[in-house]
Amino acid sequence: MAATVPNDVFFAPIPELNARLKAKEFSVEDLVRAFSLRLQQLGPTYNALALSLHQAALKQAKEVDKEFKRERYRGPLQGIPYGVKDLLSYAKLPTTWGAKPYAAQVFDYNAAVIDKIAALGGVLTGKLSMVELAGGGGYRFPSASLTGPGLNPWDKTRWSGGSSSGSAAAVAAGLVPYAIGSETSGSIVTPASFCGVTALRPTYGLVSRYGAMALSWTLDKLGPFAHTAEECGIILQAIAGKDSRDPGSAGKSFYYTPQYARPVKDLKVGYAPSDFAEWVEPATRPAFEAAIAVLKASGIQLVETKLPDFPYGPALATILNGEMGSIFEPLIASGKVDELADPPQIAGLKASLELPAKDYLKAMRMRRLIQEEIAKLFGTVDVLLAPGRAGIAPKIDQPLDRAAAGPAPKDPGFRSIIPMGNLAGLPALVLPCGFAENMPIALQLVGVPYSENTLLAIGREFQSHTDWHKRHPA
């Protein structure tokens, strides 16, 4: 049935797919069927598929085909299939949150982002796997998921990363052109880095979380996984915007405007040399050095920078534990928390109920100081640059809390950039930048709130001189 769609569509960027639909090279129904069957067939081999929406997707595709026939164009996402992390509600079908206690949970409404994309003619083909409860409570093994450990499309003995494991793996394997994931502290940055895809963590409050599982009211964010920075901009424009149903909504829209971006040679990018020379695993260093050389060649000014000295990790953990304990109190009190797959996660959730209010409030006050100091830091640089992760994806049977080999470098560098960025609500862009031991590695760029266009401009510039974003697993 899908023979009318050539194989090159599976890794083609969104604007190209949309142009080929307009040119009637194939129909929306053909494209959606091809991707949906591929997701059904290959998704389980990576433990990436939580729920196929094949029949609903084909029905919607036929309606979008009618719009193309009438030349009623709604933008670049029209007719393009995609997937969402299974913490987003989809009316009348299960939304499991990756966890056994919620395996039969059904909502009667869609998440805001699903309705927004549907209004632009996007076609949802499936719900994608995730770490149970988006990792709430802290988990020790990649197997902490209802669907089993997320398997990396580059090497199935390795992890695809958490907690948006299925979103990253599905894009990397060409099962969906793009996917929506979430981040509370690293759940977009980590899987994108491990799977070699481009991803964007938006500014806190820019994308409505209505219909999304809450893990932490003041930290949760939704964002896109795709192949290019340009696609992330297109998707963010579609899903951003105010929503009175989300108390954390910033009340702002986002318009992707590459034509108005500042020239990259005018930008100062702060970085810590120790991150790339000492903190990252030795096998990754040549690729990171080459990536930095590309940025320098584009005219970007790299400036040695230090993060203000704060206990970012403990502050974030305290806030997360306080909010998570409140959110999941019914699960913990009922005893159903014991049905989760990861014993350390069960223990972490139970312990969250014991957090003193004074500790939570102290952490929130410290967060305000962090935001003020980081704002001062951004008075001297426009963007911060760091490795996406210090090494390649770990083996799926390795504990995630294993200690690093050897003594830690004296200079802390930007080791805390993920908790810092999430505490301050900052946007981050993940860019594939090379390989080590045949596995992808990535850079992350972090900017001030609402500086997504600046990050995307750097991403586009980098991707115009490299082809790491075009590589895909065999």
Residue 163: is the preceding peptide bond cis (ω within 30°)? Answer: yes
Taking the C-alpha atoms of residue 441 and residue 457, their distance in angstroms, rounded to an integer, is: 20
pLDDT digits (tens, 9 = 90+) for 97-119: 999 999 999 999 999 999 999 99
Taking the C-alpha atoms of residue 235 and residue 218, their distance in angstroms, rounded to an integer, is: 23
* Selection from 269, 333, 335, 260 nearest residue 296 by Cα: 269
Q: Which phi and psi angles does 429 have, rounded to 5°?
A: -115, 130
Q: Which phi and psi angles does 396 have, rounded to 5°?
A: -70, -20
Asked if residue 375 lies in contact with residue 307, where contact means CB atoms within 8 angstroms, the answer is: no
Which residue is listed with tokens 């500014």? 203
Q: 107 lies in a domain?
A: yes
Question: Around Cβ 257, how many Cβ atoms within 10 Å?
Answer: 12
Q: 301 lies in a domain?
A: no
Q: 73 lies in a domain?
A: yes
* Selection from 69, 43, 60 nearest residue 110 by Cα: 60
Q: 361 lies in a domain?
A: no
Question: Around Cβ 52, how many Cβ atoms within 10 Å?
Answer: 18
Q: 141 lies in a domain?
A: yes
Tell me the two tokens of residue 339. 């049905």
Taking the C-alpha atoms of residue 339 and residue 178, their distance in angstroms, rounded to an integer, is: 32
- Amino acid symbol at 112: A
Query: If you write DSSP's letter for every residue of 285-303 in order, what string do you get?
Result: HHHHHHHHHHHHHTT-EEE
Taking the C-alpha atoms of residue 231 and residue 250, their distance in angstroms, rounded to an integer, is: 23
Q: How many CA atoms lie within 13 A of 143 on its CB side?
A: 9
Q: What is the pLDDT of residue 140?
A: 96
Q: What is the pLDDT of residue 404?
A: 73
Contacts of 274 by beta carbon, 8 Å cutoff, 6+ apart:
409, 411, 412, 413
Q: What is the pLDDT of residue 1?
A: 41
Taking the C-alpha atoms of residue 418 and residue 388, their distance in angstroms, rounded to an integer, is: 9
Parts of the chain with a pLDDT under 50: 1-3
Contacts of 437 by beta carbon, 8 Å cutoff, 6+ apart:
283, 392
Q: What is the pLDDT of residue 402?
A: 81
Q: 432 lies in a domain?
A: no
Q: 293 lies in a domain?
A: no
pLDDT digits (tens, 9 = 90+) for 141-157: 999 999 999 999 999 99
Query: Strand pairing of 301-304 and 383-387?
Result: unpaired
Write the CATH number for 148: 3.90.1300.10
Q: What is the pLDDT of residue 79?
A: 98
Taking the C-alpha atoms of residue 108 and residue 341, their distance in angstroms, rounded to an integer, is: 27
Q: Which residues are known to be catalytic?
A: 85, 163, 187
Q: 228 lies in a domain?
A: yes
Tell me the two tokens of residue 228. 């290019």
Asked if residue 444 lies in contact with residue 414, where contact means CB atoms within 8 angstroms, the answer is: no
Helices 28-42, 54-69: axis angle to 10 degrees equals 160
Taking the C-alpha atoms of residue 220 and residue 222, their distance in angstroms, rounded to an integer, is: 7
Residue-range definition of the domain harbouring residue 167: 7-258
Number of domains in the chain: 1
- Amino acid symbol at 99: A
